[in-house]
Amino acid sequence: MAEQHWILLRGLCRESRHWGKFPQQMQKLLPDTRVSCIDLPGNGKRYQHPTPTSVSELISDLHRRHRPEQPVYLLGLSLGGMIAYHWMQEYPDDLRGIVMVNSSLSPWNPPQQRLQPGALPKLMRAMLTKGYPREKAIFDLTCESQRYRDETLSFWQMYQLEYP
């Protein structure tokens, strides 16, 4: 069987390091699989690149920079799932399949299903702050478990300091 290639895409304001140990765990469980993580423009190693203002622009950028030689699988989290879905629509020959995690798409999900109204003020405050308070707010909005909270927040803060 030929090697499979999975590309992992994170969500809004997140970079490839936010996957944590998941890519290595996936690689270990699927030894004939190559796992790659891509930073979106404006995030991670690409933090100095302007962030496109539409999913179409993001897909054009990613397709231009990461067009696969053979069809790949995309696993997208949140905005990454939306990107995977639209990549599949625009460039179906690039892909073998997609997995969307915690993603929502218009018109199937109305705004109140895509973001709880009570979370909007917290999200806006998080976007206007930096450092630990921002990462803490994002963690509290997106993570149910408190098990690895302190460790995770220290990594997230380090990521933001290195690639703001």
3-49 pLDDT, tens per residue?
Answer: 899 999 998 889 999 999 999 999 999 999 999 999 999 999 999 99
The string of DSSP codes covering 9-31 is E--TT--GGGGTTHHHHHHHHST
Q: In the chain, what are the domains? A: 1-109 (3.40.50.1820), 115-164 (no CATH)
pTM to 2 decimal places? 0.87
Q: What is the rounded average pLDDT of the residues 56-66?
A: 90
* Residues with Cβ within 8 Å of residue 60, at least 6 apart in sequence: 52
CA–CA dist 20, 131 (Å, integer): 19
